[in-house]
Chains A and B, each alone.
Chain A
Amino acid sequence: MTKLLDVANLTVGYGEAIALDGISFSVARGEFVTFIGPNGAGKTTLLNNLMGVLQQKSGTVTFGGEDLKTLKPEARVARGIVIVPERRELFPGLSVEDHLRLGAFLRRREGRARMASALDRIYALLPKLKERRRQLAGTLSGGEQQMVAVGRALMAEPQLLMLDEPSTGLAPRITEEIFEAIDRLKAAGMTGILVEQNAHLALSVADRGFVLEVGNVVASGDADNLRQDPRVLAAYLGAGDRYREIATDT
């Protein structure tokens, strides 16, 4: 598999504080990786840097062979790096369909037919959006807003889809719906980076996982192996007690 994204010795910080301390990883085309870890581990910082909102102190990020350093967010979107941000960043006074159309802003010259077929694809993936297409985003429920954010990102036809905590603040049923959509995207060959606090959920979707703790990668590997890793179990899967019980039994 060819590398799509290559991150080497990436250090990012806010002023003096270091949020990411020289991390390296790569993502192959068609691969879904996940970053799990507690609050403040640097997960969102990583995505903000990849998106071009936050400059790195040192290290390089290469995407499709190109150094991203000087590129602004809109230039990165044009290259196919698209984010579903944690706070969704919707436009409260615009309708659901407006959001989707704006998601394809950079492809606006491709004509009405392409726009219509792209819209249809999103509505097939997230049928709830079709029901709500004329509704203003500010009046939607949290789950529906999350779907709008996902749909808007997909309209840009991402090469690399980055999802920042898509399950935050959502009811379990809605979370399930969103993760089913992510599963289908992955099955269709989408490359992605998923950042999650819910490690169990994240590892069930991703191919590979990285455990991030105070700016460092402390564990990584295949999602299936990582799910069995006692350290991960103890710290992030909320199964620590059960693990200890099993350990003392035997």
Chain B
Amino acid sequence: MIDTVLFLLVDGLTNGLVYALLALSLVLVFTVTRVVNIAQGEYVMLGALTLADLLQGRMPGTLYLLIGGLVLCIVLDAGRWRRDWRQALLYTTGLIVAGVAALALTRCALALHLPVIGMMLVALILVAPLGALIYRFTVHPIPNATTIVFVIISVGVSMSLQGVALLIWGANPYPVDPIAAGGLMMGPVFIPYQSFAILITALLAMGGLYVFSEFTLLGKALQASAMNRLGAQFCGIPVNMTGALAFLLAAAFSAVSGMLLAPLITANYEMGFMVGLKGFVGGAMGGLIDYPLSLVGVMIVGGLESTSAYVASAYRDVLVFSLLIPILLWRNTRSRVEARR
């Protein structure tokens, strides 16, 4: 009995940590840009599939997305040439150099047969900029749109990315190697090394975000844009830049989460949506604005998921998503109490 409980606890914790990275992404994006990003899970899928390609020695299909996005950026900013050709030249050259560098980096990594961790880094570098590109195409043109418009847009982004992924990778699942195979017997429970890897990576990512936002001026600028957009503009902080940065960091966190998750469930084009929604349930606990509460939320989601998988595996997802109802009720009473004060 105690073995089972311990096993479920470890399993739940592992799931929770994966969702934690996702919840962090959601909170980061929402606080800085007011976008409830339903498409956040798609970066999980892109991270996992990119890593799968790299580990099997193929040029990852993500490069199509990246280079296509860069080209579209150049086209969208064509008007800049008339206003200030020097800046436009610098910008265009920068984007072309970035595209070529991404290609070269991928070729090098494939030629060198990097270990899994190295390939994860390369995949991260390929996927994270997609976040900033998507910000440029969807949020940047309409910064003052309402939350509901952004939700609809992000659903559209999610569907398009899934479609494009189906086109590039097909419907087959891809196996992904764990960072380290095998595991460790700790007392009565067997803990795979991958679980440790997930724990360490998640802690590093969260710690990194904390250090970045507390100890660098750019991090403070990101917080400032989240707290008061107008005030940030009055400081000369370009809010489009901080918005794109939030999207980029969020894409990076989600991609890492996908790369950690993929060895456990294999990577496929539609894996992201579910994971995204589960991160969302956890994030809802913190109202999408509170990091610590969101972490509590995802741990509850992870725990509930592994327990229900054991007790009633057919109803696993139903149970996890039902959690949203008590969470929303609880948030509602809490905000009413706050409003009354």
Contacts and interface: CB of A to CB of B under 8 A. Distances in A.
Interface of A: 51, 53, 70, 72-74, 77-78, 82-83, 85, 88-94, 98, 101-103, 105-106, 108, 152-153, 156
B221 interface: yes
Interface string B198-228: 0000000000000000000100110110011
B224 A106 contact: no
26 contacts: A72-B238, A73-B234, A73-B236, A74-B238, A74-B239, A77-B233, A77-B235, A82-B234, A83-B234, A85-B230, A89-B228, A89-B234, A91-B223, A91-B228, A91-B232, A93-B223, A94-B220, A94-B227, A101-B220, A102-B221, A103-B235, A105-B217, A105-B221, A105-B236, A108-B217, A156-B236
A89 B83 CA distance: 32
Given A89-B228, A101-B217, A156 B223 contact: no
Contacts of A102: 217, 220-221, 224, 232, 235, 237
Nearest to A89: B231
B227 A93 contact: yes
Contacts of A91: 223-224, 227-228, 231-232
A94 B224 contact: yes
Most buried by A among B221, B223, B231: B231
Interface string B235-249: 111110000000000
A47 B227 CA distance: 22
Chain B's interface size range is 10 to 19
Contacts of A83: 234
Contacts of A89: 228, 230-231, 234
A53 B220 CA distance: 22
A56 B224 CA distance: 28
Contacts of B230: 53, 85, 89
Nearest to A106: B236
A152 B235 contact: yes
Contacts of A90: 228, 231
Interface in B81-137: 83
A103 to B, nearest CB: 6
Contacts of A98: 220, 224
B141 to A, nearest CB: 14
B35 to A, nearest CB: 20
Contacts of A101: 217, 220
Interface string B138-160: 00000000000000000000000
A91 B230 CA distance: 10
Contacts of A92: 227-228
Contacts of B235: 77, 102-103, 105, 152, 156
Nearest to B217: A108
Most buried by A among B217, B221, B227, B235: B235
A96 to B, nearest CB: 13
Given A83-B234, A94-B223, A105-B217, 6 more contacts: A73-B233, A74-B236, A85-B234, A90-B228, A102-B221, A108-B217
Nearest to B236: A77
Interface in B25-64: none
B236 A53 contact: no
Contact of A51 (B83, B221, B232, B234): B234
Contacts of B83: 70
Contact of B233 (A70, A74, A88): A74
A94 B237 CA distance: 15
A129 to B, nearest CB: 16
A108 to B, nearest CB: 5
B217 to A, nearest CB: 5
A53 to B, nearest CB: 7
The 10 residue pairs across chains A and B that have the minimum distance between CB atoms: A77-B236, A89-B231, A106-B236, A91-B227, A73-B233, A74-B238, A91-B224, A102-B235, A74-B236, A89-B230
Nearest to B223: A94
A83 B233 CA distance: 10
Nearest to B231: A89
